[in-house]
Amino acid sequence: MSLKHDIEFTLNGVKRRATIDITMNALDMLREVIGLTGTKYGCGEGECGACTIQVDGVSLNSCLMFAVDCDGRNVTTIEGLANDGKGDALRDAFVEHGAVQCGFCTPGMMMQADHLLHKHEHPDEACVKRGLEGNLCRCTGYKKIVDAVVACGAAEATP
């Protein structure tokens, strides 16, 4: 029997409790225990960014985080961003610029882009490329994703 632990945390604005294996990572907890499958497993070692979530306002790789470390913290996943007005603007920008092809990297890209837009309100292309360097996309060649995030930041700049 593996060691279990009860944790309580805020997930997408709602208080949650979960009983999880001590050695489980946050990605497995989200997908297997809680059932939110928007966050993707890509590489399991922090190279691809497909599992990006936000914890206490910063983005991180959920595959590199122990699930027990979510205890008492504020976690946002792509499902939370989807219910947020800012998430709508980012999604629309992705659609408009054709930034989604197979879509597997998209949740992680959007979570990281959202974090980037919180830190840099109107990022230029270089800033977006830098901010997204921890996220791999094997379809688009990145150009459309970068365009989408730059456009989203620029749109927010217009009153």
| Closest residue by Cα to residue 117 from 87, 73, 139 | 87
Which residue, chain included where needed, has tokens 């996309």? 137
Residue among 133, 138, 141, 143 that touches other proteins (CB under 8 A):
133
Taking the least distance from each CB to other proteins, the nearer of 11 and 48 is 48
State the binding string over 19-58 for other proteins (x if CB under 8 A, else -): ---xx-x------------------xxxx-x--x-----x
Residues 45 and 63 sit within 8 Å (Cβ to Cβ): yes
89 phi, psi to nearest 5 deg: -60, -40
Taking the least distance from each CB to other proteins, the nearer of 55 and 92 is 55
CB of 50 to other proteins, least distance (A): 11
| Closest residue by Cα to residue 28 from 98, 72, 20, 96 | 20
CB of 48 to other proteins, least distance (A): 9
Number of residues that bind other proteins (CB under 8 A): 30
CA distances from 123 to 19, 33, 46, 128, 149 (A): 40, 36, 24, 6, 8
Binding site for other proteins (CB under 8 A): 2-3, 5, 22-23, 25, 44-47, 49, 52, 58-61, 63-66, 68-69, 71, 112, 115-116, 131, 133-135
